[in-house]
Amino acid sequence: MTAPTTAPTKTAAPTAAHTEAAKAAGRHARTSWEELVTAALLGTDRRTPPVTAPGRDAPAALLDAAAVQTVRRRAGLRAAPAAGRPEPASQDPRPVVPAAARRRLATLLADHTGTAGGGRRGTAPDLVELLPQWLAMANERGFAPPPELLPALLNAARGRTDLRPQALAFAGPRAQWLARLNPDWKFALRAAPGRAAPPGPQEEGAIQRRWQEGLFAERVALLASLRAHTPDTARELLSDTWATERAEDRLMFLDSLRTGLRPADEPFLEQALGDRSRNVRATAAELLSSLPDSALAARMADRAASCVALDRTAPSPALTVEAPHECDAGMERDGVAPKPPAGRGERSWWLGQLVEAAPLASWQGRLGDRSPADIVALPVADDWRAELHAAWCRAAVRQRDASWSRALLGPPASPDAAGPGAVSLAERAKLLTTLPATERAEWVAGFIDAHGLSEAFQLLGVCAVPWAPALGRAVVDALNIARDAGSYPWSFSGVMGLAERCLDPAEAVRLEALTAVPDEPEDASPGAGGYWSEAFQRLVSTLRLRAAMREELGG
């Protein structure tokens, strides 16, 4: 019996439908994810989808394309013409963190998408807020990251701008190398490169090429790096191309001159006062007013002195104020904005800008060689006191003048929580930043002792971490008083969250006694005792975790 033979199978010729499907797949591959998202957000009625398919309406074609792109994105490969291998990343000479610290970092990065906040319930530490502290300690000790955790670290920094300076300093040279390969991490190209080594003479050609041909972010980083090490070189580089830069770029570049600002920058900044961009002019004027010996500072001092004078005819010394009646062309060129914000009078607006830009040292000679404290204590006629003192506050912050800041802050136990010169607690917090860290902590501790925690949140935010012992004791004592009084606990959640990040871990022993549920007074908020117990348990466990992190990184 003869076995039946099987006829060979013929390959079916491609149909028109197959051909169209292949073409559609090709179009899908060439379409960017951003284009698809834009069309989806706006709707296919308002934005024609970037892809079409025979027999499919616009929404269906859009979803088909999104499905194709999703698979490609998950595969981790972006179709592109073949290219040569990239140059290896620069070597990082720092030692990699110890194994225990590496495991801790992996845990912190795995939880970086969690929800932060001092108002949460439970006793578990908030790992999201511990990551910045871990990075700060690792940077202080000069460690490098484990290479396998770099992508997770850059993803965390991508979602949190407050994390970027520490994360990029820790990531080191490989961060910028990776950023050139993955556009999701392009923010790393704008890293503050103050840690970078100063460029050598042999790199002059490369510097010029990067400045002339680099991306904007790379040019900003280059300018900042040069400014940190060779300020004059950076200024000369900027001056060469200044006339051809866009206004928004000029503003960003000009802002980099804040680093290492010096008298040699004055001619360039004076030239920038004539810039066609109002924002550029204002920034140049602000920088010049920070140079106490600049010509602009002298002009502002003369203008301010014509408005504020010492009345020697009064029974006791007092200040008189005559605000400007107009904003002339000279004032406008020197950075005085002629149009006030809504609800603000023109004359007071002009006066504030003149006083803010005048060197504070000039007032002492013009007002009878008085000290800053004596000047601040002088009465001011015609209700100009608040306006004048507010301008002096801004000047003290801009010029980083600790003597004037002390005078305007006044004693921490002053009955007026806003102080003799500050118009708000926010202004007072800015003044505190000009004082040494130890003095700042002592002043805030005294403020808390006198006024409690309800007014102190903004002031605590400018104190160095970990808090000095006196400040830590003041915060814990104030929290304990609020707990014993049966106060509404959620109103202190922000301070409790700060304490978790800023208290010295050694305070955990003293806090252990506060973790028990207290007896609630009759007028206490319902459930307040349980909340306070949870909050103190979480605080203790967080402090112990911070102590463990420090030990893992070598103490």
Give per-residue pLDDT as tens, 507-543.
898 888 888 877 766 666 666 778 888 889 999 999 9
pLDDT score recorded for residue 254: 93
Contact 307, 387 (CB under 8 A): no
208 occurs within a structural domain? no
Whether residue 441 sits in one domain with residue 378: no
pLDDT score recorded for residue 280: 94
Whether residue 449 sits in one domain with residue 349: no
pLDDT score recorded for residue 44: 84
pLDDT score recorded for residue 94: 95
Q: Which amino acid is at 178?
A: L
d(CA 425, CA 423): 7
Which of 343-352, 416-425, 470-479, 507-516 is the least confident region? 416-425
Where helices occur in 113-159 by DSSP H, the ranges are 127-140, 150-159
In this predicted structure, the answer to whether residue 545 has a pLDDT above a threshold of 90 is yes
pLDDT score recorded for residue 119: 46
In the three-class reduction of DSSP (H, G, I as helix; E, B as strand; rest coil), residue 145 is classed as coil
In this predicted structure, the answer to whether residue 263 has a pLDDT above a threshold of 90 is yes
**pTM (2 d.p.):** 0.74
Q: How confident is the model at residue 455 (pLDDT cuts 50, 70, 90)?
A: confident
For residues 29 and 509, the model is more confident at 509
Local structure of residue 312 (DSSP, 8 states): S
pLDDT score recorded for residue 523: 64
21 occurs within a structural domain? yes
Whether residue 131 sits in one domain with residue 68: no
Cβ-proximal residues to 181 (8 Å cutoff; 6+ apart), any chain = 86
Whether residue 134 sits in one domain with residue 55: no
Whether residue 469 sits in one domain with residue 369: no
304 occurs within a structural domain? yes
Whether residue 131 sits in one domain with residue 65: no
- Mean pLDDT for 355-384 is 94
**Cα–Cα distance list, 279 to 223, 247, 254, 292, 427 (Å):** 20, 9, 10, 22, 23
For residue 94, what are its two tokens?
């720092």
Cβ-proximal residues to 276 (8 Å cutoff; 6+ apart), any chain = 247
Which of 14-28, 242-256, 411-425, 523-537 is the least confident region? 14-28
Beta bridge partner(s), residue 8: none
Cβ-proximal residues to 10 (8 Å cutoff; 6+ apart), any chain = none
42 occurs within a structural domain? yes
- Mean pLDDT for 398-404 is 95
> Each residue of 190-201: pLDDT tens digit?
754 444 444 555
- Mean pLDDT for 269-296 is 94
Domain end position, chosen among 139, 167, 195: 195
322 occurs within a structural domain? yes
Strands 318-321, 308-311: parallel, antiparallel or unpaired by DSSP? antiparallel
| Domains identified in the chain, total number | 4
Beta bridge partner(s), residue 53: 56
List the one residue out of 87, 125, 91 whose CA is nearest residue 108: 125
pLDDT score recorded for residue 530: 82
d(CA 90, CA 97): 18
**Buried b vs exposed e over 28-42: b needs ≥16 C-beta within 10 Å?**
beebeeebbeebeee
Contact 358, 300 (CB under 8 A): yes
143 occurs within a structural domain? yes
d(CA 130, CA 549): 9
CB atoms within 10 A of CB 323: 19
401 occurs within a structural domain? no
Contact 521, 485 (CB under 8 A): yes
Q: Return mean pLDDT, the chain.
A: 85
In this predicted structure, the answer to whether residue 170 has a pLDDT above a threshold of 60 is yes
In this predicted structure, the answer to whether residue 9 has a pLDDT above a threshold of 60 is no
CB atoms within 10 A of CB 340: 16
Whether residue 103 sits in one domain with residue 67: no
Contact 413, 374 (CB under 8 A): no
CB atoms within 10 A of CB 5: 6
pLDDT score recorded for residue 6: 42
Local structure of residue 358 (DSSP, 8 states): S
Domain end position, chosen among 141, 169, 195: 195
- Mean pLDDT for 434-438 is 97
- Mean pLDDT for 380-384 is 92
List the one residue out of 547, 543, 549, 480 whose CA is nearest residue 123: 543
d(CA 516, CA 526): 17
In the three-class reduction of DSSP (H, G, I as helix; E, B as strand; rest coil), residue 493 is classed as helix
pLDDT score recorded for residue 109: 93
Whether residue 493 sits in one domain with residue 455: yes
Which of 46-50, 59-63, 270-274, 360-364 is the least confident region? 46-50
d(CA 354, CA 299): 9
Whether residue 501 sits in one domain with residue 442: yes
427 occurs within a structural domain? no
Q: How confident is the model at residue 423 (pLDDT cuts 50, 70, 90)?
A: low
List the one residue out of 442, 411, 403, 407 whose CA is nearest residue 421: 407
Whether residue 444 sits in one domain with residue 552: yes
Q: How confident is the model at residue 346 (pLDDT cuts 50, 70, 90)?
A: very high
**DSSP H helix total and E strand total for the chain:** 28, 2
Which of 10-24, 425-439, 461-475 is the least confident region? 10-24
In this predicted structure, the answer to whether residue 244 has a pLDDT above a threshold of 50 is yes
- Mean pLDDT for 46-67 is 84
Whole-number percent of the chain with pLDDT over 70: 86
What domain range includes position 168? 99-109+126-195
- Residue 311 phi/psi, 5-degree rounding, is -85, 105
Beta bridge partner(s), residue 514: none
Whether residue 551 sits in one domain with residue 448: yes
pLDDT score recorded for residue 416: 65
pLDDT score recorded for residue 87: 85
Distance from the Cα of residue 271 to its chain's centroid:
30
d(CA 136, CA 116): 19
Whether residue 545 sits in one domain with residue 440: yes
pLDDT score recorded for residue 339: 95
In this predicted structure, the answer to whether residue 7 has a pLDDT above a threshold of 50 is no
For residue 89, what are its two tokens?
């990343």
In this predicted structure, the answer to whether residue 224 has a pLDDT above a threshold of 90 is no
